[in-house]
Amino acid sequence: ETMNLAGLLLCLFCLAFTHVSILAGREILSSCNLPPKTDHCRARHLRWYFDSIRGRCRMFTYGGCGGNNNRFSTERECMAECAPTSPYPDVCSRKPSYQSCYYALHYYYSGTTVWYFHPVHGSCEQFRPGRCPKGWTLFWSCQACSNICTNYVACNSKAE
């Protein structure tokens, strides 16, 4: 009888622990489903939020007060919290780097404009023709870049 009571208590403990774990998981997921809250304050902090419709993190301008838990300092932190199984945790926030253009890709010399997201500036920027990007995401238009990386139009024609 003592053994049955101990077994019953162990089962109840496991059930309660599982229930708390499930509720904690729902809380994390529900905060990732909240819309970005810019608030009424006038600061202009660039922050990341999880866009549950697109399934990825995007940048927004946070006013500095209030807000909600769907606000992160980095894209990687946002993706780790809200989309931990994503194979691409930093599509928009990779730092620009360049390489020699010995292979002369057609679109660099054909006049086609190529865009990338600059996370420090919070804007989509053009590549200077003839420079070859290395190791980050390129976009064929500023609109495509803005749609993926921000919740605002983020075009800056200054060439990098």
**What does the pLDDT look like over 13-51, one tens digit per residue?**
444 443 333 334 434 468 999 999 888 888 989 999 999
DSSP 107: H
**Contact residues for 151 (Cβ-Cβ < 8 A; gap 6+):** 36, 49, 51, 58, 59, 60
- Which CATH architecture does the domain made up of 98-159 adopt? Irregular (4.10)
pLDDT at 53: 92
The residue extents of the domains of the chain are: 2-82, 98-159
d(CA 32, CA 51): 8
Number of H helices, E strands in the chain: 4, 7
For 2-82, which CATH class?
few secondary structures
Pairing type for strands 155-159 and 123-126 reads parallel
Model pTM?
0.69
**What does the pLDDT look like over 69-101, one tens digit per residue?**
999 999 999 999 999 988 877 889 877 677 665
Tokens describing residue 160: 């990098």
Tokens describing residue 97: 């780097």
Give the mean model confidence (pLDDT) for residues 116-136: 78
